[in-house]
Amino acid sequence: MKYITLVCAAGMSTSMLMAKMQTSADKQGIEATVIAMSESTFEEYKEHTDVLLLGPQIAYLEEDLKAQYEPKGIKVAVINMMDYGTMNGEKVLKDALAMLA
């Protein structure tokens, strides 16, 4: 089971993308759990995450979050802007899983 967490400023726009990613994963029979939350909530999040994806509007936090979470084994990346804007769940899922390969 792969755990993917999406974060953005308030959690609203990423939750739409999250739903699409989860649907795409289920359709392809991929064992992945995709959740979304605000960045401040993630700081207190205790469950396991394999990949942390950032909404492009908080891309400026990438360095900070990489420094904080990559030592813990969590892969951190910013979601591609066009994929995010067009809510391309399938592509974002594919890119996320590629990071774990």
Partner 1 sequence: MSKLNVNDISKKIAPILNKIQKSKLSNGVSGGMMAAMPIILLGAFSALFLNLRIPAWKSFIAFSGIAHALNVAILFSTNFLAVAFVVTIAGSYAKQYKEEPMVPSLIALVCFFIVTPFTINEGVTTISMQWLGAAGIFSAIIIGLVSTRIYIYIKRKGFTIKMPASVPPVVANSFSSLIPAFAAIAVFLIVSTVFSGTHFETMHQFIYTFIQTPLQGAGGNIVTVVILWTFAQLLWFCGIHGTLVIYSVVLPIFTAMDTMQLSAYASGQALPNITGRAFVSTYTVSGSAIGFAILMLFVAKSKQYKALGKITTIPALFGISEPLVFGTPLVFNFKFFVPFVFLNGISLTIAYVLTAIGIVPRVAGISGMSGMPIIFSGFMEGSWKIAALQVALVLLSMLVWYPFFKKADKAAYIIEQKAEVK
Active site positions, annotated: 8
Q: Is position 82 an interface residue for partner 1 (rule: CB under 8 A)?
A: yes
Q: Is position 10 an interface residue for partner 1 (rule: CB under 8 A)?
A: yes
CA distance 2 to 51: 8
Q: How far is the CB of 38 from partner 1 (least distance, A)?
A: 10
Q: Is position 16 an interface residue for partner 1 (rule: CB under 8 A)?
A: yes
CA distance 86 to 49: 25
Q: Is position 42 an interface residue for partner 1 (rule: CB under 8 A)?
A: no
